[in-house]
Chain A
Amino acid sequence: MNEPVVPVDKPMSHVGDEIAAIPLEYPRPVGWLAGAAGTLLLLLGFFLSATILFIAGVGIWGVNSPVFWGVAIMNYVWWVGIGNAGTLISGLLLLLNQVWRNALNRFAEAMAVFAIVCAGVYPITHLGRPWLFYWMFPYPAEMGVWPQFRSPLTWDVFAILIYLLVSILFWYLGLIPDLGTVRDRAKGRLGQVFYGVLALGWRGSARHWLRWKQAYHFTAAIAVPLVFSVHSEVGMLFSASQLPGWHSTFFPPFFVVGAAFSGFGVVTMLAISIRQALHLEDVVTMFHLDALARITLGLSMLMGYCYWWDIFNSVYSGDRYELRAVGDKLSGAYAWSFWTTQFLNVVVPHVFWSRRARRNLFVLFFVGLAVTVGMWFERYMLVLTTLYHGFLPSSWNYYIPTFWDWAVFAGTIGLFLFPYFLFVRFLPVSSIAEIKEKVFQIRQERA
């Protein structure tokens, strides 16, 4: 634990020099252009496939009776989970006063914002008549009907929208002082004006810092339970239905754990990519990656507990349909997705017992990827195992995603990664002011 978590022994300007220089003189312009162009193509693919989907209708997807929640809802849950974890990593670790959080929080929050946009798009794409999506909002309709506020489906609309707005506020509030740092370092007129406007005239006044800190901590304190409520509500979308395998009070906590787990996977991958591409070894240290790996390991065991508790819960109920759902999970048509999930989420992260694995960038990256993919298969398993095997033989069907399912999915990856590339290029990727605050605190403690 004696490793440097923040660059204590370097001058105060060092952190700012490292991080604020990136948006002004980007160190890897060619690599960035290649990545941005690639993800822009994916994003254009999203617009194309969404347009074709809206013209042709959801019939071009693989969804059909009884499986109406195909890849669209799996991806929705997957993206919400990734987004939720971004806020959880930033907010919860801030409240717990974890020093190592400050290198990671900014890009975890960016991940939250962009992932939640992808999540918000999915429910609209899976509507039969997407142009009527505004029916979900409470507007004074001619018929006098309001949305059904007692249903998780309506909670969902508000939860996602509110979560998006609060995440943006929290992210931007944290960015303001650092935008000031970039503004004051900018040499060119364009940079000074651009960052000057974004920094809103921040000048580091003690009074401003006092208010900023109160707002930042208070927002974190309410954003953390917001994450719990949003993802619990996503779990309730499932458990409020009366279908075997879903109808369980266990789903909200199960989903929250899954969300945090998948987000740690994605954050690990992002942290390694940003660290290596931008040479931020001083900011994102091996200690940070080690900490992420430890938490991934802990959450992996919690996930394993959740999977088997869920099965025990169904078995203990004694309900024949629940028992059948368990049978389907373990050996039904989609059992491969259950066992893939078990392998990727429960078995693979155990390499992190080894210190060498926790400190090897390749292992870290691939376990992060395994967790992210594993969490996708988990949603695949959860959605399909229950839906494909209806109560009557007439409602049994094997769902296979079509090309257009995959096209929209690939497109949302562009919808996530392209703004992320812009973020890495144009905004400070780590929290400069907060790292300095910790450096000062540690120096005070040493003195």
Chain B
Amino acid sequence: MTRLLAEFEQPEDLLAAIGRTRAKGVPIIDAFAPFPVEGLDQALGLADQKVNWLGFTGMVLGAMTGWFFQWYANTDYTLNIGGRPWLAPPSFTVLTFEFAVLLGGFFMFFGVLILSRLPKLHHPLFEIPQFRRVTSDRYFLMVDAHDDAARRFVEDLHPASIAEVEG
């Protein structure tokens, strides 16, 4: 597999190139941009909701943990204060919600990292000099140029530069 990295100067050029590449049937590996470009997900056909589901799962688990903990503490050692009920849902709501937020936040934060295989301090892409501008003002498309036709197609997209990704 030969991975080619094409550089574009405008986000619109990247989006147009993705459209042409998909129409042509050349497999796209990934696209890179300095900011979440609106329409990039649709252009690439990405519709992954995993992080949202992780957040939801974290919140459900957090709510269960929070509720269970308060229930357990009050069952294990009942504090009778003025005869008030020891199992008191109104009092338990606050911490139940807060634990839901805590676990939801943790699930999403670490979900993003794990699903994205981060932290990964070195990546073959960092060897390519022009890729340093990916966090500034350049947009990149990485395709699997398996044959000469695909390679010529990438050249036809008129990118600012083409580089081969090692490794």
Contacts and interface: CB of A to CB of B under 8 A. Distances in A.
A150 B55 contact: no
Contacts of B116: 205, 207-208, 211-212
B133 A211 contact: no
Contact of A138 (B44, B69, B125): B69
Contacts of A170: 105
A208 B34 CA distance: 11
Contact of B119 (A172, A201, A212): A201
A218 to B, nearest CB: 4
Given A155-B95, A437-B36, A440-B35, A165 B105 contact: yes
B137 A222 contact: no
A152 B90 CA distance: 12
Interface residues of B, number: 67
Nearest to B55: A218
Contacts of A196: 121
A223 to B, nearest CB: 7
Contacts, number: 209
A201 B122 contact: yes
Interface stretch (B19-27, B45-53, B147-155): B45-53
B76 A181 contact: no
Interface of B: 11, 30-38, 40-41, 44, 46, 48-52, 55, 59, 69-70, 73-74, 76-77, 79, 81, 84, 86, 88, 91-92, 94-95, 97-102, 104-106, 108-109, 111-113, 115-116, 118-123, 125-126, 131-137
A204 B32 contact: yes
Q: Quick one: which of B31, B76, B104, B112 has the most chain A CB within 10 A?
A: B112
A173 B37 contact: no
B11 A440 contact: yes
A282 interface: no
Contacts of A169: 105-106, 109
B95 to A, nearest CB: 5
B34 A166 contact: no
A149 B55 contact: no
Contact of A16 (B73, B98, B119, B136): B136
Interface stretch (A47-55, A140-148, A287-295, A419-427): A140-148
Nearest to A163: B98
A213 interface: yes
Nearest to B91: A150
13 contacts: A16-B34, A145-B79, A149-B73, A158-B99, A159-B95, A166-B105, A169-B105, A203-B134, A205-B31, A208-B112, A211-B112, A226-B98, A440-B37
Interface in A217-247: 218-219, 222-223, 225-226, 229-230, 232-233
A437 B35 contact: yes
A44 interface: no
A146 B86 CA distance: 13
B22 to A, nearest CB: 13
Interface of B is mostly: helix
B115 A211 contact: yes
A433 interface: yes
Nearest to A165: B102
Interface in A422-447: 432-434, 436-437, 440-441, 444
Contact of A162 (B98, B111, B120): B98
Given A197-B121, A437-B36, A226 B46 contact: no
B101 A13 contact: no
Contact of B118 (A11, A13, A144, A202): A202
A349 interface: no
A222 B59 contact: yes
A214 interface: yes
A206 B35 contact: no
B112 to A, nearest CB: 5
A159 B91 contact: no
Given A148-B81, A212-B36, A219-B104, 10 more contacts: A17-B136, A173-B109, A201-B118, A206-B30, A207-B116, A219-B109, A229-B97, A440-B11, A440-B38, A441-B38
Name the 3 nearest CB pairs between A and B, nearest first. Answer: A146-B73, A200-B119, A13-B137
A210 interface: yes
Nearest to A141: B77
Contact of A222 (B50, B105, B136): B105
B38 A444 contact: yes
A138 B92 CA distance: 15
Given A201-B120, A202-B118, A212-B112, A437 B38 contact: yes
Contact of B121 (A138, A162, A201): A201
A12 interface: yes
